[in-house]
Structure 1
Amino acid sequence: MPERVVVVGGGMAAARLGEHLAGDERFAVTVLADEASPPYNRILLSAVLEGTHAADALTLRSAEWYAEHGIDLRLEARVLEVDRDAREVVLVDGQRVAYDRLVLACGSIPTLPPIRGLVRRDGTLDPRVHAFRTLDDCRRLDAATRSLVEGSAAPLVEEGRSPVRRPRAVVVGGGLLGLQVARALAVRGLLTEVVEGADHLLASQVGSGAGAVLARDLRRLGTEVYTGARAVRLTGDGLQLDNGYVLPCDLVVLTAGGRPSTALARRAGLMVRRGVVVDHTLTSVTDDRVHAIGDCAEHRRRTTGFVPPAWEQAEVLARLLRGEEASYDGSRSVARLRATGLDVAVLGDPERAEGEVVEVTNPIAGSHRRLVVHGGRIVAAALVGDLSRVGLITQLYDRGTLLGPDEPGQLLLPEAADAPAPLPDEAEVCACAGVTAGEVRACASMSECVDRTRATTGCGGCADVVRRLVEDSPAPVAVG
């Protein structure tokens, strides 16, 4: 009888685990997704808002794919509790789903920042306020943006006349998601401003030098940035900051204040700190029949929130469930910012990693590059504005390659003006899915590449490189 694996959550970690277990007759896999859509790429939601991707292009695998591969995908299946004694998951409609192995892939949830006026007296959000976490959130914000842009453009276009008033948006939060949303709204035509409580942008990932370069880039692109300021009240006049300044706004988008979704684990009596505490096998330290992966998992007192570690966890757990040797050490972390006009890549923890720092900043050109080298190996990096060397640096970081004394500095210099050398087959081009240039070259088309390797289905930052590799690959030779 196949082992019953029940996955709670319909996000990117759950989808990746399903892909690794698909077709294995030793498992009967059930995925309980609380949204109405099959698992999709949340990282590219801002691209849907911007208008460069269609919503249906974000689907990682169709509902038909799950059925064809023997996976029971249940949409709008909200879990109420876990009965660990009976080894059953209880849904809000009373259904009980039995399991032999339970995988919590619940992701994270947004939390409301302490801003007075966000919630009206009747308990509903002010209609100007939007969260940005799910596809439904994205659709609501897209509709509100379209209405504002069309309304402001209606009376225009006689020579010499200017718009009545550009609609204004304020994004609360200067992290990766906040900057992506801000750029998307600005591209759509809204006058957009960013409010960040820390003293610089991307404070959780980069230092003040890189944050200053990002702020300068945003201002150059028409988006004002307020750092070291907190929003305290939403009124009819706009969003008031703690310095007394009021930002007029038609939209307020909340991108700060997310946390791992752990309520279900807490009610089940599992050990939870910030996330569900797991060991190197991604098993709950409370119950060896329960596992956690993705945003809701806490390993070595760390939660991640990024795609590459979530997908690595899914692969490791799949191997362990199949009885193979595997363990998760939590060392690999790669984050990319996907936003028009902004390029950021962060490897590891460049602000807290131990080692010698090699840094080059050119605020005029809008670039900042930082390597942390320990024992001759790259242990962390932050690249802003110039990602020409990101593939090579990622490869050296992942492999722990020993560098010569001059190599770290050379890696931070701009690419030579002549044509770059072709990427070797072993070079990693998709950090999210761990795909090499050779694996991409073996594919005859982009659709085949996506289906076989899952390249470009994470942050999307590798799309241009992958497309060039596929287009430059030799056509297959017909036989016979």
Structure 2
Amino acid sequence: MKKQRLVLAGNGMAGIRCIEEILKLTRQMFEIVIFGSEPHPNYNRILLSSVLQGEASLDDITLNSKDWYDKHGITLYTGETVVHIDTDQQRVSTDRKRTLFYDKLIVATGSSPYILPIPGADKKGVYGFRTIEDCQALMSMSEYNQKAAVIGAGLLGLEAAVGLQHLGMDVSVIHHAAGIMQKQLDQTASRLLQTELERKGLTFLLEKDTVSISGTSRADGICFKDGSSLKADLIVMAAGVRPNIELAVSGGIAVNRGIIVNDCMQTSEPNVYAIGECAEHNGTIYGLVPPLYEQGKVLARHICGDLCEGYQASAPSTALKIAGIDVWSAGKVHEDERTTSINICDEQAGIYKKALFEDEKLAGVILIGDTRDKQRFLDSLLKQRDISIVKKQLFELKENGTLFDSMSSSETICQCNSVTKGAIEDTVHRKGLTTVEEVKYCTKASGSCGGCKPLVENLLRYMASSEYAEPAGTPTFCGCTDVTEDGIIAELQRRPFTDPAEVMSQLGWKTKDGCHKCVPAIQYYMEKLQPDFVQSEPEAEDTCILIPQMYGGRATAEQLRDIANIIEAYSIPDVSITHSQRLKLSGIKPADLPNIRKHLKMPARSNEHRRTLQSIKTCTCGQNRSSQQLAAQIERQLEGLSMPASISVSLSCETDCTDAAIQDVGAIRTHAGWDIYIGGVRGTHARSGALFFVTDNTDSTAGMIKGLIQYYRETAHYLEAVHQWIDRLGIVHIREVLLEEDLRTQLLESLQTDLSMIQNPPIQAGAHKKG
């Protein structure tokens, strides 16, 4: 299949995150070309203030090195700007006279600092604070100048002011409003924050309107509307940003304040999309990391051909990145006639907590001085929890930081990158991580806005302490033992037990013979970890069930004739069709089973409750033979392989996709290839699975499904369903593992080793038998 050319105009955080999401879904669909106006690879613009404050280096904030682009076959043009779009011919032109045709175009041009339109704004010594070059210039200028002024007391202005003060400058902050950060904080929070910053040495001039900048060729001060003035030899404009929409205008694309997009991030022109700070969705322009990353995910799914729900409005959250000052807010912060509020204020301790409610549901939160629970409050905000739950969170006293032991594994630690507590715990255990930098590299947690970095640090500290216990919410054994599931697995790896009875005896089981929960679990792990352990067959029942194996749901006339003859010859009383489209012969006498197997002339399984891949349900559309062929291939290759829990797989086409979407693993055949979904749930509480990956051929689809199933086998707990496993580890983490070619190859090799053990079981003296 010929690749489509995907052009990205803008090399910033939103655009590159969209490309990363596309690469997670498919590697074969697009030839990717990226243009970036700055002479750098992708970097974290949000952390420029941390560089200015001396907490990070420029290397620390690089998100994707040049090697990353090369590894993924991406053509990157740095220092080159797309200046025109010809939507009729589907081509772009750059400031270096380069012309390039596109099949899909993503405009992610971001925003620029708003420079006040006043006399003197173009003088030397006046800067914005938006790029690496701005940051480097401010650091250089601070060596020769003493007095700085920052115009704007919003989030960026305050972080820049503290950074300049860190560089040794005397800093004044000018703001037109009566309170600082008035968009993110109420009056009380604003006053508390200002008091704390004044203690650190900043000076504030509030309710001041700047009318001009004095000086000859170089700025030397600021003049205000009330006739007063301020001396300053370095001036930073931090009075907001403006979306860069000029490129869209050049192509006749509809704009307002930003580039107008729909829920799929489509602009008014075909095959042209916009995301990030240049995009306007339902009248709103987002400038924070989580919404922009969510836009990237939505666009990636749409552009890869998945019919996704579309982008929904995000609840903005803001964290001030100044060492020693903890400020965080999310959602609505100002009261009106529709809201009620609960607040706690301790001015002496510098602590202020406020929760706003609409219709008894959480609508906004402000935290000053103690932000340890911000992720939990954000989770409550996103889930619109009611006042009784949030009230308990607000007043809960936590002497030792966040109580991680009361935090479920599925709760999100890093909202920007959707990294759960369980995903971090799993990665730390598997790879022996000890630092935040290692966690960031392996999971991306704390790698974007940096707001969750203290939480990650606390989690690592907690995991290393003696108080750390088995993560809440993970499946446990039973009341027969106090040993955790991971502890039992570790003992089985370390010691050569002969049977479950010995395990229970040596590990101090409270109940001598165990129970129906823990004994099968021990047997499962022994079979998995000890190649020479063989489980005995379950006790014979009064009657048996036999399901002839019809690979892919297909059978020949001869096979059906043999089945019919056997039904008559052995007077099998009950024949039915399973939900997986297979024939089930029930009521067979145990004594007849060996002869039936002999005469059947095809594989069959007699224990439908065994935790294996039972069969794959396939679409029966006349043009969809590829689904049945793929199902037969996977069934043959995974036959007899034990699973942590029963697992359902379904393959279908676009016209019959409902069933595939609610299975543990589902693949839908599209015109371009296959869409793979995971984590669906059947039954009365059915839910659709999440899109996991997009492939363009059957072989890569089979490889991805097999690798996924093997990773589930290696990391899931006994009887942990696929959707529970995903909730615990996080789909982002699982996707990262499967997309890493070396890791996927290792999984497939491990799978083949396990299969060879089934097909050629070891014959050893003293092979262990149960009972």
TM-score by length of 2: 0.56
Aligned residue in 2 for 1:25: 28
- Find the aligned partners of 1:225 and 1:346 in 2 and give their Cα distance: 22
- Find the aligned partners of 1:343 and 1:418 in 2 and give their Cα distance: 17
Residues 34 and 77 in structure 1, CA contact (< 8 A), matched pair in contact too:
yes
Aligned residue in 1 for 2:165: 186
**1:239-295 CA distances to partner (integer Å, 9 max, x unpaired)?**
2222233222221111114110001111211110000011111111x1131111110
The SS at the match of 1:273 is: coil
Aligned residue in 2 for 1:330: 313
The SS at the match of 1:342 is: coil
Residues 372 and 455 in structure 2, CA contact (< 8 A), matched pair in contact too:
no
- Find the aligned partners of 1:419 and 1:240 in 2 and give their Cα distance: 47
- Find the aligned partners of 2:425 and 2:121 in 1 and give their Cα distance: 50
The SS at the match of 1:459 is: coil
Aligned residue in 2 for 1:95: 98
Extract unaligned runs of 5+ from structure 2. 466-485, 495-528, 530-771
Change (3 A) 1:67 1:373: same
Select 1:351's aligned residue among 314, 317, 334: 334
Residues 83 and 268 in structure 1, CA contact (< 8 A), matched pair in contact too:
yes
Mapping for residues 227-306 of structure 1, pairs under 5 Å: 227-236=206-215, 238-284=221-267, 286-306=268-288
**1:136-185 CA distances to partner (integer Å, 9 max, x unpaired)?**
1101111111344xxxxxxxxxxxxxxxxxx2211100111001111111
- Find the aligned partners of 1:419 and 1:181 in 2 and give their Cα distance: 29
Aligned residue in 2 for 1:162: none
The SS at the match of 1:203 is: coil
TM-score by length of 1: 0.88
**1:212-245 CA distances to partner (integer Å, 9 max, x unpaired)?**
1221111111111122112222224622222233
Deviates more, 1:208-217 or 1:176-185: 208-217
Change (3 A) 1:249 1:111: same
- Give, as a single letter, the amino acid of the residue that structure 1 aligns with 2:393: L
The SS at the match of 1:429 is: strand
Residues 424 and 437 in structure 1, CA contact (< 8 A), matched pair in contact too:
yes
Residue 129 in structure 1 maps to residue 126 in structure 2: yes
- Find the aligned partners of 1:113 and 1:249 in 2 and give their Cα distance: 17
Change (3 A) 1:174 1:474: closer
The SS at the match of 1:442 is: helix
Percent identity of paired positions between Structure 1 and Structure 2: 30
Deviates more, 1:12-21 or 1:358-367: 358-367
Shift, 1:428, TM fit: 1.6
Residues 168 and 190 in structure 1, CA contact (< 8 A), matched pair in contact too:
yes
Aligned residue in 2 for 1:207: 186
- Give, as a single letter, the amino acid of the residue that structure 1 aligns with 2:317: V
Deviates more, 1:379-388 or 1:348-357: 348-357
The SS at the match of 1:53 is: coil
Residue 428 in structure 1 maps to residue 417 in structure 2: no
**1:30-77 CA distances to partner (integer Å, 9 max, x unpaired)?**
221111000100111011111111101111111111110122222112
Extract unaligned runs of 5+ from structure 1. 120-124, 149-166
Number of matched residues?
A: 453
Change (3 A) 1:229 1:290: same
Residues 218 and 225 in structure 1, CA contact (< 8 A), matched pair in contact too:
no
Q: Give the greater-gyration-radius structure (CA).
A: 2
- Find the aligned partners of 2:314 and 2:214 in 1 and give their Cα distance: 45
Select 2:426's aligned residue among 442, 446, 453: 442
Residues 52 and 139 in structure 2, CA contact (< 8 A), matched pair in contact too:
yes
Residues 182 and 190 in structure 2, CA contact (< 8 A), matched pair in contact too:
yes
The SS at the match of 2:47 is: helix
**1:285-311 CA distances to partner (integer Å, 9 max, x unpaired)?**
x11311111101101101011111101
- Find the aligned partners of 1:118 and 1:339 in 2 and give their Cα distance: 28
Aligned residue in 1 for 2:383: 399
- Find the aligned partners of 1:118 and 1:328 in 2 and give their Cα distance: 38
The SS at the match of 2:121 is: coil
Shift, 1:394, TM fit: 1.3
Aligned residue in 2 for 1:363: 347
- Find the aligned partners of 2:28 and 2:339 in 1 and give their Cα distance: 47
Shift, 1:418, TM fit: 5.2
- Give, as a single letter, the amino acid of the residue that structure 1 aligns with 2:377: I
